[in-house]
A and B are shown apart, each in its own frame.
Chain A
Amino acid sequence: MSRSTLIPFGPQHPAFLEPLNVSLELDEERVASATLNIGYNHRGMEYALALDYKKTQYLAERVCGICSNHHSAAYCQAVEAIYGLEVPERARIIRTITMECQRLTSHLLALGHIAEAVGYENLFMQCFRERELVMRLVNEISGNRVHYSTNIVGGVKRDLDAAMERRIADVMKELRPRLEELRGIFARDSTLVKRTRGIGVLTREQARDWCTVGPVARASGLPQDVREDGFAAYDVVRVRPVVREEGDCYARTMVRMDECLRSVDMIEECLPLLREGPVAVAVKGHPDGEGLGRVEAPRGELLYYIKGTGKLQLDRIKIRTPAFVNVPPVQIMLPGSRLADVAVITVSVDPCICCTDR
């Protein structure tokens, strides 16, 4: 007769980069039920962000280190909506380039993380080697590797000169074949395929019910991508969402892998669109009114709601991060799986606890 065992998986676990706990009820090696516990990293960011409008921009970028540029872009869009600002075209294209660079770094981190969870250590290193190309490029563009600090309300604060435009093109040219090689490994390596295909399935209906976004939703057949709404310069580049139907760890991995190649496409499309012109418009005063900013961060839709009353202190700032809705469905993906697959399934949603908890 089998006997159930309760196992705490996390909050400190070698497979997780940040604190996250899954309480597992096991029947022998199989997961009978799972309960997710988050909140270990809650920093009260929504409270802190509203305290002083002059510091909000700086702090918004620091909600997360992996999608920092998307946080500042969504924040800027929300404030720009309050002011009714028209951001110069050149600034919108630069924002698009940096956002796609950050998608590359984020997805390559997630791909490396899944390789590590599977036990494929040298593939993890290969992902991080290719990621380093983009990290160094971003450092050249912005002067920073993590918190780019290029977005400001009204545009961007650093322009790209002709030499930098050529440099971006060269890095993308170098990166593409490396990504194609990586894709071949993720798509066909027998160990990876066995550890991810048919594992941790999230059906289309479950994905919709749990309000999932980004690669998690698209891997379950939901063709939603905020970039199709045309924020920044996404109205002038081709946005072709990568959608798969399987809903398993393999699909989530391959969606991210293919999105890396689409990001290279978009960056290359952006470069010839750069025309001489201003990169920012001036803004004065404190925001008075309501504004929404919505971007497609690497993990999916990121939304900023801001209400200001013309004072230094904002009335309310609300951040709906993609991880906040993508992490909870892990508890319905786990039942029926083997204990050995728990780390792979959890990592496959690309759990960012900085964003989830804020």
Chain B
Amino acid sequence: MSDDFDRDAHRGIRDMARGMKESGARLITVIGRDRGDDTIELVYMFDQGGRLVDHRFVVEAEQEVDSISDLYSGATNMERENIDLLGMRFKGLGPGLLLVPGRSVEAPLRKRPEEGA
């Protein structure tokens, strides 16, 4: 795990999303990227009056992250996709996935040990 990892950083996700929502920003996407050291970078990307704004959080791969689907309904499928493709867990996200569990490749975007960072 790299030195820039802050175990508690993800606690600010909901406050960040609430602030962006109040400012009228539109959520564009939630990008998950395996950093290759058992951590995942989550990039929350917004459009704020035509300007692109991103907020980044690094979380442990197995860590449960607060969902923002109650703040932005459109985040529901974005978070589900991160579950499907990266094996993430979101606290407060309703049931349902895009892919059928057990019948699809599990977390295909997670890096295998030999791939590394």
A residues within 8 Å of B by Cβ? 38-39, 42, 44, 46-47, 208-212, 224, 228-229, 292, 294, 301, 303, 305, 307, 315-316, 318, 320, 324-325, 328-329, 357
Contact = CB atoms under 8 A, between A and B. Distances in A.
A138 to B, nearest CB: 29
B9 interface: no
Nearest to B36: A315
Interface in B97-117: 97-100, 104-105, 108-109
B67 to A, nearest CB: 15
Interface residues of B, number: 27
B31 A210 contact: no
A328 B104 contact: no
A173 to B, nearest CB: 33
A301 B52 CA distance: 12
A351 to B, nearest CB: 13
Given A44-B105, A208-B26, A316-B33, A294 B52 contact: yes
8 contacts: A211-B27, A212-B74, A224-B47, A224-B50, A228-B50, A307-B33, A320-B29, A325-B74
A228 B31 CA distance: 24
B31 A211 contact: no
A209 B68 CA distance: 11
Contacts of A228: 50
A329 B47 CA distance: 19
- Chain B contact residues, majority secondary structure: mixed
Given A208-B26, A224-B47, 16 more contacts: A39-B98, A47-B109, A210-B73, A211-B72, A211-B73, A211-B75, A292-B52, A303-B29, A305-B29, A305-B31, A316-B33, A316-B109, A325-B77, A328-B73, A328-B76, A357-B98
A324 B85 CA distance: 15
B93 interface: no
B47 to A, nearest CB: 7
Given A209-B72, A307-B33, A229 B50 contact: yes
Contact of B85 (A46, A211, A294, A357): A46
A103 B100 CA distance: 33
B74 A211 contact: yes
Contacts of A315: 33
A281 B31 CA distance: 30
Contacts of B73: 209-211, 328-329
B31 A301 contact: no
Contact of A42 (B28, B47, B98): B98
A67 B6 CA distance: 40
Nearest to A39: B98
B13 interface: no
